[in-house]
Amino acid sequence: MTSSTNVQTFNTASHGYRNSRPKASPPFSIRFTDEERSRLDRAAGALSLAAYIRLKLFDDDMPRSRRSTKRRRQPSAELAVLSHMLGGLGQSRLASNLNQLAKAANTGTLPLSPEVERELKEACEAVQEMRRDLVAALGVKPEDGS
């Protein structure tokens, strides 16, 4: 087999490989004013601009590209607050402790000393504070007016 035959065989084999991939659709460009771009950035929050624009244009029923975005957006201030609160909640073991207290109360094995009563009130206040903070961070109006 000659060198030119090898090259021809390689080119034929590789040509089929290249054509077997689906061709990507061409990008669409649009210009925004600085103010428009700033509004889009704020509204998109943690989403990429492309994902946010697709969501707004197509009500999220369009298929997504399988490529991940190279540029990661910074989380919004609300997401940062929520992340901090969730981290604190996880570290406090509050849910586990309240579950243990509820179980003990249901079985009648919880002696209600002044110290236990104080700790229960502190736990309830902590849960109420977390709820208020979460509601404020999400921008939701509380149902009970608190």
CA distances from 120 to 96, 110, 127 (A): 13, 11, 11
Q: What confidence tens digit (pLDDT) does each residue in 37-88 have?
A: 999 888 887 778 888 888 888 875 555 544 444 455 566 776 777 767 766 7
- Cα distance between residue 11 and residue 18, in whole Å: 10
Tokens of 4: 């030119």
What contacts 24+ positions apart, CB below 8 Å, involve 51-60?
none
The pLDDT assigned to 70 comes to 47
Which of 9-13, 21-25, 85-89 is predicted least confidently? Answer: 9-13
Mean pLDDT of the chain: 72
- Cα distance between residue 25 and residue 98, in whole Å: 54
pTM above the 0.75 mark?
no
Tell me the range of 34-48, 73-87, 90-104, 117-131 where mean pLDDT is highest: 34-48
